[in-house]
Every structure is written in structure tokens, then in C-alpha cells.
Amino acid sequence: MKKDSIAGIAAALFLATCAAATAHAQSSYPNRPIRLVLPFAPGGGSDTLARMLGPRLSERLGQPVVLENRPAAAGVVGADIVAKSIPDGYTLLGTTATFVISGELHKKLPYDAFKDFAPLTQAIASPFGLMVHPSVPAKSVKEFISHAKANPGKLNYGSSGAGSSPHLASELFNTMAGVQIAHVPYKGIALANTALLGNEVQMVFSNLFSTLGHWQAGRMRLLGHGSPKRVAAFPDIPTLSESGVPGYESVNWYGYSAPAKTPKPVMDRLYKEFAAVLNSPEVKPTLIKQGNEVVASTPQEFAKQIESDRKRWGSLGRKLGITLD
């Protein structure tokens, strides 16, 4: 038999063996712990949600789901870890709208936000709440705007980093309300919330559910939120659009992605379990009571949401002159 024929047969056998091994790995998935990377500090919305879902996902998947907080650079460090991971379903990324904003406004990233990831599911949508420190002499959005205009350059707001969704939500408020509130970036929204509690900053756009205990106890004052309509769980809290900033809207989302080229059978299994947990009677009512909308979108639906936000937030960022190094 000729050498080239032998080489061809050997190559074919090698490929067949690899294919069989891959098929076996997919059919037995998962057979070891799954790492869920959260690119923000503990205590924020992505962390709070993941800690609610994690144990229930572990039960359904039969393997531990290990949470790993990697806060830095508005989520870039954590996202980079996942982008460079083996696409086998054992490393996932917890994402927010910040992920899309970074992908659009960063001059240079160590990954491609729109090619190096496979969208898995948008878990929830959560409106940003306009939180102020109790010492701020304003009990409504209109009063706060008047106070800010009377004190230009004297108020600060916190965010989870330059280019994060709270950053853009705040800058959109600055622009639409005609105020000048200075930006102080932190390594996560939980740290910005802590800064607000300590009056290091006077305003934060943060989600309703991870700050629920603080604003209900009066440790921070919730003046309104960025949903286009009032939230069923908190009908007495007005929208910013109806409170003096017509047309204002800022709703954050929390979702999950995997490295690009993760096998479809693995993605299908993960989506099935995420959706089951999100829609379970133990989780869904709790999330709704906290002011969230449970979405549990398919990978295809989540991809469309990402593309929609890419256009919206990217356009806004460029309009506001926000560029990221």
C-alpha cells in the first residue's frame, strides 16, 4: 500500500476518533463542575442573580456551578477569561448590557464581544433606579433636577466603571435633564452603592432588586426608575419619563453566554436548565416581586437583543463622546 494511502487512512481514523470522543463528551455533559465567571464585584445585580440561580442549576445539571467574581475594567477582564476558554460548556459568562457597550465603545479589546461569544439566554430585564443619598434635599426627580442645576459641579454619581451601563444611564440623565453631575467610576455597582451609602457620591443609577433593602429602609432614596412604564411590584414608584425627564428610558438586562463554537447540544442543554430554573415557582415569583421581568429568552432571541442594544447604546455613547481605551 502506498505511503500517501496509509497517511490518508490514518488521518481519517484520527478524525473519526476525535469526532467520537467529542460526541461522547457532549452526550455525557456535564461530568465535572461548571465555572460561571461574573465580571463584577460581589453584591451587585449579576452576583445576586447568579447566587439565586446557581444552587438550583447545580441540582438540575448534577454538577456544581462554581461562581467566580473577576471585577475589573467594567467587565473586560472577566469576559476575556471566558473568551479564551475551551468552548466545551464548562466556562460561562454572566453578562449585562455593559458587555455590549464595552464591545461598541472600546478602541481595543482583547476579544471580539460579538464574535467570540455564543449568547445563551437573557435571564431578566431590570430597570435602573435613580438613587440619591438621604442628605440630598430632594424628594422627587423634579426637585433633584432643580437641586443639581442650582449646584453645578458639586454633585457626583457612581457607576460600575467607564463604559458600563450605569455610566451611560447616568450620562443620558445628565443630558436629558440638563444637569452637570460628575462621574466617579468604581470596580462594580456594589462598590458604587456602598459609596452612595457613605455619601461619597450623591447619585447612583442601580437596579431595584439588589438595592431593595437599602431604599426600603431609607438608607438611600429611590426617586424613580428608567422603565417605560411603572413596575407592577412597585406601582407607587414613578418612571423618570413621567417625573420630569420625558422619554427617558434605561433598563438593564442580565444574561449568560458561552465561548463561541460551544457545541449546540451543550448549548441546548444549558438553555433548557437555565429556562427551567428562571421559570420555576421558587425563582420567578421572587424575581418579579423584586421589580424584574423574567425573560428566559432563547439563544436566538438573546442574540437579537444584543444586536438591538449594540445599536442603541453604541449610538448614544458616540453621541455623548464616550470612548474607552
Question: Which structural domain range is residue 285 located in?
Answer: 31-126+252-319
Q: Is pLDDT of 47 > 50?
A: yes
Q: How confident is the model at residue 16 (pLDDT cuts 50, 70, 90)?
A: very low
C-alpha to C-alpha distance for 250 and 76, rounded to whole angstroms: 22
Q: If you compute the radius of gyration of the chain from its CA atoms, what whole number of angstroms results?
A: 22
Q: Is 153 exposed, middle or buried (0-12, 13-18, 19+ CB in 10 A)?
A: exposed
Which helix or strand (DSSP H or E) is residue 221 part of?
strand 221-225
Region label for 228, one of left (φ > 0), alpha (ψ between -120 and 50) or beta (otherwise): alpha
Residues 219 and 151 in one domain: yes
Residues 116 and 143 in one domain: no
C-alpha to C-alpha distance for 162 and 148, rounded to whole angstroms: 22
The enclosing domain of 256 has a CATH number of: 3.40.190.150
CA quadruple 136, 140, 145, 149: dihedral, nearest 10: -50
Cross-strand partners of 251 = 127
- The number of distinct structural domains making up the chain is 2
Q: Is 122 a member of any domain?
A: yes
Residues 261 and 280 in one domain: yes
Residues 223 and 313 in one domain: no
Residues 228 and 263 in one domain: no
Residues 112 and 261 in one domain: yes
Q: Is 14 a member of any domain?
A: no
Q: In this predicted structure, what is the pLDDT of residue 11?
A: 45
Q: What is the mean pLDDT of residues 157-163?
A: 90
Each residue of 283-309: pLDDT tens digit? 999 999 999 999 999 999 999 999 999
For residue 59, which of 210, 283, 209, 268 has the smallest C-alpha distance?
Answer: 283
pTM metric for this prediction: 0.84
Q: Between 107 and 221, whose confidence is greater?
A: 221
Residues 261 and 237 in one domain: no
DSSP category for residue 140: S
The enclosing domain of 144 has a CATH number of: 3.40.190.10
